[in-house]
Amino acid sequence: MTATQDPTNSTGPKSGAHAIPSYLDPNNIGPYEIYLEQVERVTPYLGKLAYWAETLKRPKRILVVDVPIHLDDGTVAHFEGYRVQHNTSRGPAKGGVRYHQDVTLSEVMALSAWMTVKNAAVNLPYGGGKGGIRIDPRKYSTGELERLTRRYTTEIGLIIGPEKDIPAPDVNTNPQTMAWMMDTYSMNVGRTATGVVTGKPVSLGGSLGRGDATGRGVFVTGAEAMKKLGMPMQGARVAVQGFGNVGEAAARIFHEHGAKIVAIQDVTGTVYSDAGIDPKAALEHLRRTGKITELPGTEEIKRDEFWGVDCDVMIPAALEKQITLANAGQIKAKLIVEGANGPTIPAADDLLAERGVTVVPDVLANAGGVTVSYFEWVQDFSSFFWTEDEINKRLDRIMSEAFGSLWDVKERHGVTLRTAVYIVACTRVLEARALRGLYP
């Protein structure tokens, strides 16, 4: 064995030696650049495992597919589809599928990588995966979306499976989408395979508690952070960006525990109330009118003003790259709990740290969804299902224990909580990689 092959060599590859893959634009890498920078920052803490660090920077497998469907008007339309398996050293790939007009390969790569870190951070036996289709689903009928989903599932069927890669809902997908995926895969393999996806309807092997799981995880980790920081829950002022599945659930659960929701922003606008907003009333208003604005008891404020709202806790639960150098300095919250994936760019992260703002990173804060997806997967394999109370208790325990152990790492190394999460997660992934070795 040569020196370069020696896994005990603590120096590893030269820093920055990795090349940008040819399928990404080096001048505009996209969201994957955020992930690469996060890996670079954690590498000095990996010790001898830094020898394997390049593993973290390169997705294991990328599948790009053409998804042609018949539209309702009789024409044929083609859509770009992706499925990326970032790492499977610790188990099968796991991650959602999103339908969005701005989906790119770089974005799906980053999301799959963050799933690798997320699963390892809470010690689930999964690697990271992610999928997406470049489409604005608001412009298509239910029938067209069903045909799209079934064709996409067939195209990626080569690499997914209950023990290979398990998709789940993400932006603009839901339990019905997962039901179509499960049925399509099952028809193609000739047997009912409920474990091929999670986030399914309960009647098809889905788990109780899955709908609120991600938002509940945001609450649990946020509440644990508030305890560490000496922040009382009762009367705490909370601002929420994004009022979809994650943001709505997080806002509702914080509200139920005595916090005051003072601002909500979604794609339709931003509303503020110093007296507090009832999330249930806000959801009813959104469903009835299709917008969050004109909610009784609130005033509409400009979109950029959201970041300067007087609050104690801020929850970005929308899309990537929302907190930037342009707005990080305006944030008054002492605690940010990332419900979305990649909402804070690294430079803004540094600025927040300098200002004494604690950030509970996405790869920990929003891991509640994949944790309950794991519960669903286990239940499908055993055909034995738990009560919602059992699900929530197991989720709360896993999330609170993970937070506690990661906070200890943060304190021990004197780093941000995000760096602490990456230290633990990347160590777990690379230990598995080192123990397994390379085949052949």
Q: What are the CA-CA distances from residue 88 to residues 108, 113, 117, 190, 439 (Å)?
A: 16, 11, 11, 26, 14
Phi and psi at residue 438, to the nearest 5°: -110, 135
112's enclosing H/E stretch is helix 105-121
Report d(CA 172, CA 103) in Å as an integer.
Answer: 12
Residues whose CB falls within 8 Å of the CB of residue 131, separated by 6 or more in sequence, listed in order? 81, 82, 83, 84, 95, 96, 97, 98, 108, 152, 156, 167
Question: Which pair of structure tokens corresponds to residue 329?
Answer: 């300095």
260 HSE (CA, 13 A, CB side): 14
CB distance 238 to 265 below 8 Å:
no
Question: Which pair of structure tokens corresponds to residue 53?
Answer: 């660090």
CB distance 120 to 85 below 8 Å:
no
Say which of 94, 130, 200, 410 is annotated catalytic. 130
200 catalytic residue (yes or no): no
Q: E strands of 27-136, at which residues?
A: 61-70, 76-87, 93-100, 127-134
Name all contacts of 140-147 with Cβ < 8 Å and 24+ positions apart.
140/71, 141/72, 143/72, 144/69, 144/71, 144/72, 145/99, 145/177, 146/180, 147/69, 147/70
314's enclosing H/E stretch is strand 313-316
- The amino acid occupying position 134 is R
CB distance 342 to 320 below 8 Å:
yes
CA 334 from centroid of its chain's CA atoms: 22
- The closest of 416, 401, 404, 402 to 120, measured between CA atoms, is 402
Question: Which pair of structure tokens corresponds to residue 257?
Answer: 């525990």
Alpha helices by DSSP H, 194-338: 210-229, 245-256, 279-289
| 3-state SS, residue 340 | coil
Report d(CA 125, CA 147) in Å as an integer.
Answer: 32
How many residues are given for the chain? 440
- The amino acid occupying position 89 is S
- Cite the active site residues: 130
